Amino acid sequence: MSYQQLPSIDKLIKSAEGVRLVAEFGHTAVVNVCRQLIEQGREHIKKENELPSFFSNIALTLDEVKHHLHKQNQVNIQSVHNLTGTILHTNLGRALWSPPAQQAALMAMSQNVALEYDLDMAKRSHRDNYISDLLAQLTGAEAACIVNNNAAAVLLMLATFAQGKEVIISRGELIEIGGSFRIPDIMQQAGCKLVEVGTTNRTHLSDYRQAINENTAFLMKVHSSNYQICGFTKSVSEQELVNLGEEYHLPVITDLGSGALVDLTQYGLPSEPTVQEKWQQGVDLISFSGDKLLGGPQAGIIVGKKALIERLQTHPLKRALRCDKVILAGLEATLRLYLQPEKLAEKLTTLHLLTQPVETLHNQAEQLKNALEDYLTPEYQLQIEKSLAQIGSGSQPLARLPSVAVTISTSISGKLTALLTCFKKLPQPIIGRVEKDKIWLDLRGLADIQALVTMLNEQEKMP
């Protein structure tokens, strides 16, 4: 087999289709892809002593060039259908933005915005001002500071107020969050010394009192939202810590993690401490996430006393950790939904998913089952079953929400694994969970049933 049978780059780009591709994608991109394919052809001839099939004629070659050019334009962060039963799935991007937040972000992307410009005074302002005023209205706190996630918020608070000093925290609150990030590690990076008090399951107010000395920066509480210790337990409340802090003139800070701004029990969801409760108890600084129970973009939010917030804003780390205009626009639009509490479950996507009636999920399951029956081969058995979903992202780890799932089973070994692989290769991959020798496609966290059904209807029957 001769290497001379491979077409030249010049021949490819000067063909009618080649000219069209150059007009669409540019000369450099087309030439680079042609060069890569010809090199693949040489390697194939060397190993197999024959041309690759796409070099059998110039039309097939140009189709392959076109395919590679389109693939280059596809981002690797691919949209998926979340059927895991975990609504705020960390690995799948946590909270879905509400339509108002999406619109605000798109505006910020496509236009200049008054990010650090006061329109009334015609002079420079601070990028957090809009959201600080809004959070003060929603929580009662005096001011707010926004950074790129809650771990950054904790880091900034520690670096600002405790560098070279000691921070007292209960041993039972030294949590590890996703990706093996641990509270002690963040404290070390901030340059402060961790002082552990109490035991894993029991900590008393006297433990904090005995640890206080002249080098103590503040008292810290961390809400253990991603785990629970049950049985013989004792912890110290924020209110007790605040009273102790006032006695020794020490501030109290709380890392709330998920950061609920409303009482979730009114929607039939598990109870979660709110930011407002902690502020009313006298906590000086409270940090929480924007993309968990709040239902917005990834952000770390700190609310509290104005004098302390001003110190956070002037710390050199703040500039490194600040959010851009798109995140701030999406966050502001999300927070504004909380000004209409009666409409929140309708307009805030996360809360809407968490509170959907089981009857609605059952109707969606029927639609999904019908679409899957046309897509799957007969060796797969489909059922609609009761399921238990979870909030996710460390929120209420033991709580389960009633849900509905389409389950898929088969008696043929290896077929479930093959189906999971097939699901991941769909135009918009389906991500479910495997449990009790079945694939469970839980509807509680699904964003768009119509998009899922339409996609399945457009596929050829599974081979």
In tens, the pLDDT along 368-404 reads 999 999 999 999 999 999 999 999 876 666 678 999 9
For residues 238 and 334, membership in a common domain is answered with: yes
For residues 115 and 145, membership in a common domain is answered with: yes
378 class by beta-carbon count within 10 Å (0-12 exposed, 13-18 middle, 19+ buried): exposed
User: What amino acid is encoded at 274 in this protein?
Assistant: T
Per-residue pLDDT tens digits for 277-295:
999 999 999 999 999 999 9
Average the pLDDT over 204-211 and give the result: 91
The last residue of a domain, from among 343, 377, 402: 343
Three-class secondary structure assignment of 307-331: HHHHHHHHCHHHHHHCCCHHHHHHH
Per-residue pLDDT tens digits for 8-44:
999 999 999 999 999 999 999 999 999 999 999 999 9
Dist. CA 147–CA 315, nearest whole Å: 12
Half-sphere exposure of 344 (CA within 13 A, CB side): 23
Can you tell me which residue has the tokens 């070994």?
A: 413
Contact yes or no for 61/12 (Cβ under 8 A): yes
Classify 231 as helix, strand or coil. Answer: coil
- Which stretch of DSSP H or E encloses residue 423? helix 415-424
Can you tell me which residue has the tokens 């104005």?
A: 306
Dist. CA 413–CA 411, nearest whole Å: 6
For residues 171 and 312, membership in a common domain is answered with: yes
Q: Does residue 409 lie in a domain region?
A: yes
- Average pLDDT of every residue of the chain: 91
Token pair belonging to 432:
């479910």
Nearest in space to 269 (alpha carbons), one of 402, 83, 371, 141: 402
More confident residue, 81 or 178: 81
CATH of the domain at 442: 3.90.1150.110
Dist. CA 277–CA 154, nearest whole Å: 19
Dist. CA 388–CA 400, nearest whole Å: 6
Q: How many CB atoms lie within 10 A of CB 194?
A: 19
Dist. CA 111–CA 100, nearest whole Å: 16
Per-residue pLDDT tens digits for 105-159:
999 999 999 999 989 888 999 999 999 999 999 999 999 999 999 989 999 999 9
For residues 252 and 109, membership in a common domain is answered with: yes
Q: Does residue 44 lie in a domain region?
A: yes
Q: Where are the alpha helices (DSSP H) in 2-57?
A: 9-14, 16-25, 27-48
The beta-strand segments (E) located in 59-192 are: 81-82, 117-118, 123-124, 143-147, 166-170, 176-177, 181-182
For residues 220 and 304, membership in a common domain is answered with: yes
Q: Specify the pLDDT at position 231.
A: 47
CATH of the domain at 262: 3.40.640.10
Q: Where are the alpha helices (DSSP H) in 141-268?
A: 150-161, 183-189, 205-211, 238-248
Q: Does residue 269 lie in a domain region?
A: yes
- Which stretch of DSSP H or E encloses residue 303? strand 300-304
**pLDDT of 258 strictly over 80:** yes
Q: How many CB atoms lie within 10 A of CB 190?
A: 20
Q: Does residue 32 lie in a domain region?
A: yes
Average the pLDDT over 311-339 and give the result: 97
Dist. CA 444–CA 338, nearest whole Å: 23
Q: Specify the pLDDT at position 237.
A: 87
For residues 361 and 333, membership in a common domain is answered with: no
Contact yes or no for 193/167 (Cβ under 8 A): yes
Contact yes or no for 375/456 (Cβ under 8 A): yes
Pairing mode of beta strands 438-442, 433-435: antiparallel
For residues 19 and 141, membership in a common domain is answered with: no
Q: Does residue 183 lie in a domain region?
A: yes
237 strand-pairing partners: none
DSSP state of 86: B
List the end-to-end C-alpha distance of the chain, in Å, as a whole number.
35
For residues 106 and 35, membership in a common domain is answered with: no
Dist. CA 172–CA 235, nearest whole Å: 9
User: What amino acid is encoded at 401 in this protein?
Assistant: L
Q: Which residues touch 289 (CB under 8 Å, ≥6 apart)?
A: 149, 150, 257, 258, 259, 298, 299, 300, 301, 393
Token pair belonging to 247:
């006695």
**pLDDT of 227 strictly over 50:** no
- Number of domains the chain contains: 3
**pLDDT of 188 strictly over 90:** no
Can you tell me which residue has the tokens 């077929």?
A: 415
For residues 205 and 123, membership in a common domain is answered with: yes
Range of the domain at 17: 2-73
Q: Does residue 463 lie in a domain region?
A: no
Q: Does residue 209 lie in a domain region?
A: yes
115 class by beta-carbon count within 10 Å (0-12 exposed, 13-18 middle, 19+ buried): middle
For residues 241 and 295, membership in a common domain is answered with: yes
What pTM does this model have? 0.89
The last residue of a domain, from among 322, 343, 364: 343
For residues 105 and 17, membership in a common domain is answered with: no
For residues 274 and 300, membership in a common domain is answered with: yes
